[in-house]
Copies of this chain bind each other. A is one copy, B any other.
């Protein structure tokens, strides 16, 4: 239980990629981490692209970056909505400043683009948003998982196993 005592926040909104949200969340819980799902409204059920539900533990507005040791951003169409919340972007910027692990997969990169924390970073993502990532100042590579400092990125659902593992390792300080 090497993640015992670690707290992670995962951002949620409608039409998240179902497995990209849930696999890393459950995986971190397996090693003892406490993972909160945060969304526009606490207590509400949001549904993934396929329909898997996720009930929000917290509202964006009640989050404090200091409470968390890491941040997860899922893929799907949810990032197109998540990136519009200043509270979310603030938390990502502070996590970036504090060099806490930030995990992004597939279309999640849009949220980091809006947070403005990709300049000079090496990342991957779905090829669909490669141009947005590059325009935001990142160097884009086509690999299952890319770890650049505290930033962990991945491409798509078939990469979930190494992605979640890499994020867990980073969170554990390994």
Contacts and interface: CB of A to CB of B under 8 A. Distances in A.
Contacts of A23: 22-23, 26
Given A48-B50, A52-B50, A132 B110 contact: yes
Contact of A27 (B27, B84, B113): B27
* This protein's copies in its complex: 6
A109 to B, nearest CB: 10
A161 B168 CA distance: 14
A18 B165 contact: no
Interface stretch (A66-74, A75-83, A91-99): A75-83
Given A23-B23, A23-B26, A48-B50, A83 B18 contact: no
Contacts of A165: 30
Interface string A107-145: 100100110000000000001110110011000000000
Contacts of A80: 107, 128-129
Contacts of A161: 26-27, 29-30
**Majority secondary structure of chain A interface residues (helix, strand, loop or mixed):** helix
A18 B80 CA distance: 18
A52 B131 CA distance: 28
A113 B128 contact: no
A102 interface: no
Contacts of A43: none
Interface of A: 18-19, 22-23, 26-27, 29-30, 48, 50-52, 77, 80-81, 83-84, 107, 110, 113-114, 127-129, 131-132, 135-136, 160-162, 164-165
